Amino acid sequence: MIGDWLDIGPVDQIAPGTARTLAVQGGEEIAIFHTLDHTFHALVNRCPHKRGPLSQGIVHGSVVTCPLHNWQISLRSGEAQGDDKGCVPVVPLRVDAGRIYLLREAVIPHKAA
Amino acid sequence: MNAPITLDARTEDLATRERLVVIGNGMAGCRAVEEILARDPARYAITIFGAEPRVNYNRIMLSPVLAGEKSFADIVINDEAWYADNAITLVAGDPVESIDRATQTVIARSGRVEPYDRLLIATGSDPFIIPVPGADLAGVVTFRDLDDVEKMLAAAGQGGNAVVIGGGLLGLEAAHGLSLRGMNVTVIHLMPTLMERQLDEAAGYLLKSELEARGQTILTGADTQEILGCDGHVAAVRLKDGREIAADIVVMAVGIRPATALARRAGLDVERGILVDDDMVTSDPAILAVGECVQHRGACYGLVAPLWDMCRSLADAATGTPSGYAGSVTSTKLKVSGIDLFSAGDFSGGEGTEDIVMRDAARGLYKRVVVRDNRLVGAVLYGDTADGNWYFDLLRKGEDIGPIREALIFGQAFAQGGALADPSAAVAALSDEAEVCGCNGVSKGKVVATIKAGACSLDAVRSQCKASASCGSCTGLVESLLALTLGDGVASGPRTLCKCTSFTHDDVRRLILERQLKAIPQIMQELHWSTPDGCASCRPALNYYLLCAWPGEYVDDQRSRFVNERLHANIQKDGTYSVVPRMWGGVTTPDELRAIADAADKYGARMVKVTGGQRIDLFGIHKQDLPAIWGDLNAAGMVSGHAYGKSLRTVKTCVGSEWCRFGTQDSTGLGIAIERMSWGSWMPHKFKIAVSGCPRNCAEATIKDFGVVCVDSGYELHVGGNGGIKVRATDLLCKVGTEEEALEMCAAFIQLYREQAHYLERTAPWIERVGLDHVKVALDEPEAVRALAARFRFSQLFMQDDPWAKRVAGEHADLHQHIAEVRPLQVANKEFAQ
């Protein structure tokens, strides 16, 4: 299992109700969210609308509101909610023994894999 | 029950049976034995090894023993007679030290060797001790067995201070027991919410408030650095933020780990727990394992219900009729008398799930159920857990709850009441005498009569018969009665603050003051929010209302801030930020300009632009560089310009009487004085000021929120202007004779706006809504003006810290840094750079 998952550190580095980012050299930045319900989600850090940094939005329930134009993006599916249409890639994430793991193949840019 | 047989016959009989050796005399080991005996009492000759020198007892009832609500005798599950009746050999107080799988024997500490045909490992779990200095001092205990309880009771006998590290289930139960035993208890919890694995923010908040009301000190977000000792005994706990808490006893209750050392030494497959299949068989077919020590399909359990499920499947398989364990759904109840708390399943929400929330502040109730695809997937109950088992049952069975969905939140009695499952039918079925509004004693009949007499909106009902006019918890009922009585003729009421609540902005602001509401989760509970933690509309509004209501007391919630106010810079379309240092009254110096130019070069500002508010804006700054550029600007004496906030932006000025041949007053000086007074203040929306030195109005003061136009005889004060989408010229508020009066009136007007406008309402629409007369009347009496201005100045005492300087000093550093960076080449080598 460990070989397929990237350990990106302990859960307590992200306060509940906030997000932090993971820079990926040669790839797209990833936003990791910690909801007020204490679940963790990872999305590519760009809104499907105008590429706003989702990590900077307000987190409520399992939705983040994009800081640029208030699109609401589901943290589970990456899909825009309501009447808006669009989707941002979700990065599979799991939490084990207090650490956050991302699926390696979803993080690493394809050309480098 | 076993058939009575003679001792001799049984001894003979026993010799022919398979030998089952059980390691662990706890709840899992004994329950597994009970389940096997219930299926096939004559199959095994059983020997049980226990580390503790006593019979099997109910470990989860240790909390009531600590609290003095039960004695040890009350919690014994199987007494000595049970072992004798079932011909079980109990080896208590002699733990097994090794397993020899080749010879199929176990060796105990005393040297005793016991052969087995089947071996069952039920070693349970060990408390996790956080590895801080001082963790080995005398007086640091865990909360796992009766010996621990006795140590705590001995300490409690001396009185004094107890510190419990860990605000989970076990920690809170230990804290409760020690508190009841008379100790002064402090709970230290790493996470911001108590019992965060079982509770959401709202329920965690209620629990914390209740425990604090009972005299416990609860420190959340508190990280233990060290346990301090004196003569080898614990004396205090020091937190990473430097606080020290005196302690005569420290209880470590941060969690448990599966006890796998024995299995690991025996060469069994072990990850976090001992790996077992669906029949609870380990990697050695002769060895079974059950309980908290195992890992099944990737999951380890620390609660009692899964043990029972595992034991049933284990016994089925061990007696030749395997059923297969498929994992457990868990539920939790906190065993603290007087606090009813229940959680089960997955309440993290998400795609395709819907939250149904009910809050009743008067009864201290919070209920939340989570539904996905018409099936219940999670529940959190606080205050009334009577329906916990019913919800848990629905959850485990995965039944279609479609038919009862509308009434689900009201509980079993209501939801299964046949016709009553439709809430509006339930309301229709209420008798005319039934009380709808408990606060004001209004019956259904009276509400309906009021509606029939012409009250066709919620507000009209509230004002005419007072129903739902106090706490608001019957708002839903009154709305149902309106719909039932009038059909489509219901007039829509004033706009609510957002879709999470039925209260308006004005309601919420009034109730924050009336009921002394001082935290966002508290408002959501008291005012019956319909969502667990609000939305992107109400969170920033509530944060502002609390900041305005309780200056110096309320701690700003960064999670409820729009990005610009969280990062103290303006986000741009490409995700970079713009930085605007404050330029008092639009006046700058060569040194400041040099520092700005240097910063623009150093941090690669792609554009440098003069703003409409007489300042300089640096574009294209990266999030990570913000603290550094602020540090450079701070060093040159500049502070944040708040060009990003719902706050005072700029005070624009013209050069005035100091230079201008038309100038009548020192407009620049007054503008600087106004900006010095009002910078840093949070407002319902952005707020712009200008001071023009003569009626030619070069500073465009008559399209500002507050504008001063100087004239020969004094100062004209104008309000409510706006140069935005809808241009609005100001209204003249009044004319004053001195700078001091102008400053005082400015402070009073700002405070009136801060206290009365809705969040995200500029002064122009606010004045159009409430009327200029309302504003003039409020600012008519000198006493009222003084009081408002004094409140503003008091609030400013807490606001005029430069937010940039705080960030430069390291506050909220996490907001500006990546948690890590992935560099593919190194990743390929399985390295990872932090």
Q: pLDDT tier at B339 (50, 70, 90 boundaries)?
A: confident
| Neighbour count for residue B313 (Cβ, 10 Å) | 22
Q: Closest approach of chain A CAs to the CA of B172, in angstroms?
A: 19
Which pLDDT belongs to residue B114? 95
The pLDDT tens digits of the residues spanning B731-752 come to: 999 999 999 999 999 999 999 9
Assess contact for B436 and B477: CB atoms under 8 A. Answer: yes
3-state secondary structure B129-151: CCCCCCCCCECEEECCCHHHHHH
Cβ A9–B818 below 8 Å, yes or no? no
CA–CA gap between residue B160 and residue B135 (Å, rounded): 20
Query: On the CB side of B302, how many CA atoms lie within 13 Å of its CA?
Result: 17
Interface contact A17, partner B, CB < 8 A: yes
Q: Which residue has the higher pLDDT, B197 or B510?
A: B510
Q: Closest approach of chain A CAs to the CA of B575, in angstroms?
A: 6
Cβ A74–B560 below 8 Å, yes or no? no
The pLDDT tens digits of the residues spanning B628-637 come to: 999 999 999 9
Mean pLDDT of B160-175: 92
In chain B, which residues have their Cβ closer than 8 Å to the Cβ of A35? 348-349
Please give the share of chain B, as a percent, with pLDDT higher than 90: 54
Residue B103 has pLDDT above 80, yes or no: yes
Cβ B536–A57 below 8 Å, yes or no? yes
In chain B, which residues have their Cβ closer than 8 Å to the Cβ of A53? 571, 575
Residue indicated by tokens 């060093």? B635
In sequence order, which residues have a C-beta less than 8 Å from that of residue A55 and are 6 or more positions away?
Answer: A19, A20, A21, A29, A31, A32, A33, A45
The pLDDT tens digits of the residues spanning A8-67 come to: 999 989 988 999 999 888 888 999 999 988 899 999 999 998 889 999 999 998 999 998
Assess contact for B190 and B221: CB atoms under 8 A. Answer: yes
Q: Which of B192, B563, B827 sits opposite A15 (nearest CB)?
A: B192
Structural domain spans, chain A:
14-91
Comparing B458-462, B583-587, B615-619, B639-643, the range with the smallest average pLDDT is B458-462
Assess contact for B478 and B421: CB atoms under 8 A. Answer: no
Which pLDDT belongs to residue B825? 53
In chain A, which residues have their Cβ closer than 8 Å to the Cβ of B377? none
In chain B, which residues have their Cβ closer than 8 Å to the Cβ of A52? 571, 575
| Neighbour count for residue B671 (Cβ, 10 Å) | 29
Q: Which residues pair with B378 in a beta bridge?
A: B345, B370
Interface contact B378, partner A, CB < 8 A: no
Residue B1 has pLDDT above 60, yes or no: no
Mean pLDDT of B16-45: 92
The pLDDT tens digits of the residues spanning B649-707 come to: 999 999 999 899 998 999 999 999 999 999 999 999 999 999 999 999 999 999 999 99
Size of chain B in residues: 834
Residue A111's region, left for phi above 0, alpha for psi from -120 to 50, else beta, is: alpha
Please give the share of chain B, as a percent, with pLDDT higher than 70: 93
Q: Closest approach of chain A CAs to the CA of B564, in angstroms?
A: 9
Q: Which residues pair with B312 in a beta bridge?
A: none
Helix axes B458-465, B475-486, angle to 10 degrees: 110
The pLDDT tens digits of the residues spanning B73-94 come to: 888 888 888 999 999 999 999 9
The CATH classification of domain A14-91, taken from the options 3.40.50.170, 3.30.1050.10, 2.102.10.10, 2.30.40.10: 2.102.10.10
In chain B, which residues have their Cβ closer than 8 Å to the Cβ of A103? none
Q: Which of A3, A56, A113 sits opposite B563 (nearest CB)?
A: A56
Interface contact B75, partner A, CB < 8 A: no
Q: pLDDT tier at B826 (50, 70, 90 boundaries)?
A: very low
Strands B44-50 and B89-92: parallel
Residue indicated by tokens 């508010």? B613
Assess contact for B736 and B715: CB atoms under 8 A. Answer: yes
Mean pLDDT of B6-13: 54
Cβ B349–A68 below 8 Å, yes or no? no
Interface contact A99, partner B, CB < 8 A: no
Burial B602-640, CB ≥16 within 10 A → b, else e: ebebeeeeebebbbbbbbbbebebbbbbbebbbebebbb
Comparing B154-163, B210-219, B244-253, B412-421, the range with the smallest average pLDDT is B412-421
Interface contact A27, partner B, CB < 8 A: yes
Interface-testing mutation among A4, A5, A37, with chain B (most B C-beta atoms within 10 A) = A37
Average pLDDT of every residue of chain B: 88
Mean pLDDT of B218-235: 92
Which of A36, A53, A49, A35 lies closest to A79, judged by CA?
Answer: A49
Q: Closest approach of chain A CAs to the CA of B642, in angstroms?
A: 17
Q: Closest approach of chain B CAs to the CA of A57, in angstroms?
A: 6
Mean pLDDT of B823-832: 49
Q: Which of B192, B353, B561 sits opposite A16 (nearest CB)?
A: B192
How many helices (H) and strands (E) chain A has is answered by: 1, 9
CA–CA gap between residue B676 and residue B691 (Å, rounded): 14
Domains and CATH numbers, chain B: 7-126+258-318 (3.50.50.60), 140-254 (3.50.50.60), 340-421 (3.30.390.30), 648-796 (3.30.413.10)
What part of B 560-579 touches A (C-beta under 8 Å)? 560-564, 566-567, 571, 573-575
In chain A, which residues have their Cβ closer than 8 Å to the Cβ of B539? 58, 60
Residue indicated by tokens 């279609």? B400
In sequence order, which residues have a C-beta less than 8 Å from that of residue B388 and are 6 or more positions away?
Answer: B331, B333, B342, B344, B379, B381
The DSSP secondary-structure symbol of B127 reads E
Task: Report residue B637 as tokens.
Answer: 């004496």
In sequence order, which residues have a C-beta less than 8 Å from that of residue A39 and are 6 or more positions away?
Answer: A62, B348, B349, B350
CA–CA gap between residue B99 and residue B311 (Å, rounded): 22
Which pLDDT belongs to residue B10? 56
Cβ A23–B820 below 8 Å, yes or no? yes
CA–CA gap between residue B714 and residue B393 (Å, rounded): 76
Q: Closest approach of chain B CAs to the CA of A29, in angstroms?
A: 9
Interface contact B192, partner A, CB < 8 A: yes
Which pLDDT belongs to residue B336? 74
| Neighbour count for residue B8 (Cβ, 10 Å) | 8
Longest distance between any two alpha carbons in chain B, whole Å = 124
CA–CA gap between residue A32 and residue A11 (Å, rounded): 10
Comparing A90-94, B27-31, B346-350, B654-658, the range with the smallest average pLDDT is B346-350
Q: Which residues pair with A79 in a beta bridge?
A: A87
Assess contact for A89 and A79: CB atoms under 8 A. Answer: no
The DSSP secondary-structure symbol of B478 reads H
Interface contact A11, partner B, CB < 8 A: no
Q: Which of A9, A70, A97 sits opposite B272 (nearest CB)?
A: A97
Assess contact for B119 and B214: CB atoms under 8 A. Answer: no
Task: Report residue B226 as tokens.
Answer: 């060290």
Strands B161-165 and B184-188: parallel
Q: pLDDT tier at B827 (50, 70, 90 boundaries)?
A: very low
What part of B 783-822 touches A (C-beta under 8 Å)? 814, 817-822
Cβ A36–B536 below 8 Å, yes or no? no
Residue B351 has pLDDT above 70, yes or no: no
The DSSP secondary-structure symbol of B213 reads H
Q: pLDDT tier at B410 (50, 70, 90 boundaries)?
A: confident
Mean pLDDT of B9-18: 71
Assess contact for B421 and B377: CB atoms under 8 A. Answer: no
Task: Report residue B276 as tokens.
Answer: 């077992």
CA–CA gap between residue B203 and residue B367 (Å, rounded): 9
Residue A110 has pLDDT above 50, yes or no: no
CA–CA gap between residue B131 and residue B622 (Å, rounded): 38
Q: Closest approach of chain A CAs to the CA of B21, in angstroms?
A: 31
The DSSP secondary-structure symbol of B722 reads B
Task: Report residue B720 as tokens.
Answer: 């409510």
Which pLDDT belongs to residue B338? 73
Cβ B821–A26 below 8 Å, yes or no? no
CA–CA gap between residue B142 and residue B148 (Å, rounded): 6
Interface contact A104, partner B, CB < 8 A: yes
Comparing B32-46, B59-73, B567-581, the range with the smallest average pLDDT is B59-73
How many helices (H) and strands (E) chain B has is answered by: 29, 39
Query: What is the DSSP secondary-structure string of B1-47?
Result: -PPP--HHHHHHHHHHSEEEEEE--SHHHHHHHHHHHHH-TTSEEEE
Mean pLDDT of B586-600: 96
With residue A24 as reference, give the H or E element that holds it. Answer: strand A18-24
In chain A, which residues have their Cβ closer than 8 Å to the Cβ of B819? 8-9, 13-14, 20-22, 32
In chain A, which residues have their Cβ closer than 8 Å to the Cβ of B566? 56
Q: Which residue has the higher pLDDT, A111 or B430?
A: B430
Q: Closest approach of chain B CAs to the CA of A56, in angstroms?
A: 6
Cβ A109–B190 below 8 Å, yes or no? no
At B458 the three-state DSSP class reads helix
Which amino acid is present at B754? Answer: R
Which pLDDT belongs to residue B422? 55
CA distances from B694 to B230, B657, B719 (A): 74, 9, 17
Interface contact A32, partner B, CB < 8 A: yes
Q: pLDDT tier at B349 (50, 70, 90 boundaries)?
A: low
- Our measurement of the distance from residue B364's CA atom to the centroid of its chain's CA atoms, rounded to an integer in Å, reads 17
CA–CA gap between residue B317 and residue A75 (Å, rounded): 42
Strands B616-621 and B577-579: antiparallel
CA–CA gap between residue B453 and residue B469 (Å, rounded): 18
Interface-testing mutation among B348, B568, B831, with chain A (most A C-beta atoms within 10 A) = B348
Which amino acid is present at B483? Answer: A
Q: Which residue has the higher pLDDT, B19 or B2?
A: B19
Q: Closest approach of chain B CAs to the CA of A91, in angstroms?
A: 14
Which pLDDT belongs to residue B398? 83
The DSSP secondary-structure symbol of B682 reads B
Interface contact B826, partner A, CB < 8 A: no
Cβ B575–A52 below 8 Å, yes or no? yes
Residue B6 has pLDDT above 50, yes or no: no
Q: Which residue has the higher pLDDT, B725 or A28?
A: A28
| Nearest-Cα residue of chain B relative to residue A36 | B201
Strand order in the sheet with B217-219: B140-142, B249-252, B161-165, B184-188, B217-219
Q: pLDDT tier at B265 (50, 70, 90 boundaries)?
A: very high
CA distances from B438 to A52, B383, B442, B471, B692 (A): 48, 19, 7, 9, 57
Query: On the CB side of B86, how many CA atoms lie within 13 Å of its CA?
Result: 24
Interface contact A51, partner B, CB < 8 A: yes
Q: pLDDT tier at B424 (50, 70, 90 boundaries)?
A: low
Query: What is the DSSP secondary-structure string of B740-762?
Result: HHHHHHHHHHHHHHHHHSPTT--
What part of B 348-377 touches A (C-beta under 8 Å)? 348-351, 353, 355
